[in-house]
Structure 1
């Protein structure tokens, strides 16, 4: 039996993201999500999850989308002239100061906790925590808050194991873009080794707000359609796949 976490990233990004992810949880195979605490729909989304008694919600640590959660003057190396996060890693990385990274990301975690919920795990937008420097900062926070952390690449997986930070045995980001299909989901799971696997997904009900914020928008509807499909749910049952959240590892 494989233990599978289907984690929906970008919760809180827009109302359509929230509604799509909640539909994926209620009607499909989505078992986990991570919240962008700097986005305007984050708190509303968390209340939706609370009303469902949903336990596997973590923090989608963010340095490349939207505005920071701290005043710009406290983290000046992380923001552009409009006091917004740089949208591209190539713009951010030459300028960032790691002490400011830690300060901002810690605040994102604290904001989640202040909603009255305990985060189930951490991951990051655009996988920023798999890069040197930020990886060590995020691992430090995961250890401090006693939270599992997505590994995203093999180097990060090894680092987490060496530092006794809980992560999954397998991770896949391949259910994405042109690879968004039921067959691709099946291939990911059939090829995964035994143990726990996290599959990253981005379902949403696409609206104009999402289209204006994210270059990855149209495919989110296709992801949602597949994740709630009877065919996929039945296949999971046939293959004796156990769907779990990060709160179960």
Structure 2
């Protein structure tokens, strides 16, 4: 009965980086995904690099600017050269992500990850966009470089093949918030019924960039506080749930 506590969005902003740092240092986060195309990716890495965590690539095609020349990836960008927003992508009736274009940007973000960290990511997954073409492109790049492609929640074949299962994210209310204690307690049966489970969080603090570029605002600070809480640590001990990370389970 093992549990991976995954934090997404390292690099999104300085405030998000600081919240993730706290959730790693004082909380229960075991795996962190970095958005290497974002301006504050290096800052985020410097904050967490010395902790014993799995560090993954949180591949991003819907926030900020691409690392690839926008002219080469027209299906992914707006006229100003920035990525199309996740909200705009989700509103499309068809999957318009061009696989070859996505592969170019995914590979560029992977190479930036290696430039920043000096190593391969411990796992390789995606940010916000639910697109089968995007998933195919991720798998292709992962296979090319021998990386551990992880897609809990959206790929049942991955879950069965790797015996790693994602716990559905909490349903949010009108304020884009939820009760984290209730969410955790309702997940207990799922955790008990699977050898390895994954819970995904977005801890962080808030700055102007996040307030204007993300639908996740107050939820980040709330999750950061909860992930560091004595209540959660005691709950994990009470039910003898072992925390783990992707490094330890991907070859199990």
- Which position in structure 2 is the counterpart of 1:42? 41
Matched residue, 2:223: 223
Q: Give 4+ residue runs of structure 1 displaced > 6 Å after superposition.
A: none
Partner of 2:60: 62
2:151 is matched with: 150
What is the alpha-carbon distance in structure 1 between the residues aligned to residue 171 and residue 245 of structure 2?
18
Deviates more, 1:113-122 or 1:12-21: 113-122
TM superposition shift of 1:214? 0.9
- Secondary structure of 1:46 counterpart: helix
In structure 2, the partner of 1:25 is 24
Q: Taking structure 1 as the reference length, what is the TM-score of the superposition? A: 0.88
Q: How do residues 98-117 of structure 1 correspond to structure 2 at under 5 angstroms?
A: 98-115=99-116, 116-117=118-119
Kept in 2: contact 1:9–1:202 (CA 8 A): yes
2:165 to 162, 165, 169: 169
* Contact 1:68 1:85 (C-alpha < 8 Å) held by counterparts: yes
> 1:118 aligns to what?
120
| Alignment gaps of 5+ in structure 2 | none
C-alpha separation in 1, matches of 2:171 and 2:242: 18
CA distance in 1, matches of 2:60, 2:204: 19
Work out whether residues 175 and 185 of structure 1, in 8 Å CA contact, stay in contact via their aligned partners in 2: no
The partner residue of 2:70 within 58, 69, 72 is 72
Matched ranges for 1:172-187 at <5 A? 172-174=168-170, 177-187=176-186
Q: What is the distance in 1 between the residues matched to 2:95 and 2:27?
A: 41
Task: Tell me the residue number matched to 1:9.
Answer: 8
Q: How many residues align?
A: 240
Q: Distance in 2 between matches of 1:230 and 1:143?
A: 40
**TM-score with structure 2 length normalisation?**
0.87
Over the aligned positions, Cα root-mean-square deviation in angstroms equals 2.1
